[in-house]
């Protein structure tokens, strides 16, 4: 988070809250991709992907988040985390 520009930091919290309202797991924020993790309605963790992430890794990240959110513990899911 220290390396993020001030404008990105300012945009993250409102975008994270909106993602919760919209039910989105991965959202764009200032040229980056963001995943916010909420537990019992409280923001607990933010994943901010690098601005140069390629489409294949982004798809893998979305699959991993979806599997995690639905409670899946497949080997494929774990493989995506390790490869990323």
Q: What is the pLDDT along the chain (84 residues), one digit of tens a residue?
A: 667 778 888 899 899 999 989 988 899 998 889 999 888 888 888 988 888 889 999 998 888 888 877 775 554 444 444 444
Quote the CA–CA distance of 18 and 84 in Å, as a whole number. 26
For 14: left if phi > 0, alpha if psi spans -120 to 50, otherwise beta; the answer is: alpha
Indicate if 43 and 65 belong to the same structural domain. no
Domains contained in the chain, number = 2
Half-sphere exposure of 41 (CA within 13 A, CB side): 0
- pLDDT confidence of residue 73: 54
Q: Are 67 and 31 in contact (CB under 8 A)?
A: no
Domain match, 35 and 67 both: no
pTM: 0.68
Query: Do 47 and 58 have their domain in common?
Result: no
Domain that holds residue 11: 1-51
DSSP state for residue 25 in the 8-state scheme? S
Considering the domain architecture, whether residues 44 and 75 belong to the same structural domain is answered as no
């Amino acid at each position: 988070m220290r390396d993020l520009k001030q404008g990105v930091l300012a945009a993250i919290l409102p975008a994270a809250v909106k993602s919760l309202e919209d039910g989105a797991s991965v959202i764009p924020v200032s040229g980056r991709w963001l995943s916010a993790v909420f537990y019992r309605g409280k923001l607990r963790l933010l994943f901010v992907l690098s601005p140069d992430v390629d489409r294949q890794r982004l798809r893998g990240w979305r699959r991993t988040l979806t599997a995690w959110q639905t409670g899946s513990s497949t080997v494929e899911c774990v493989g995506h985390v390790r490869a990323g």
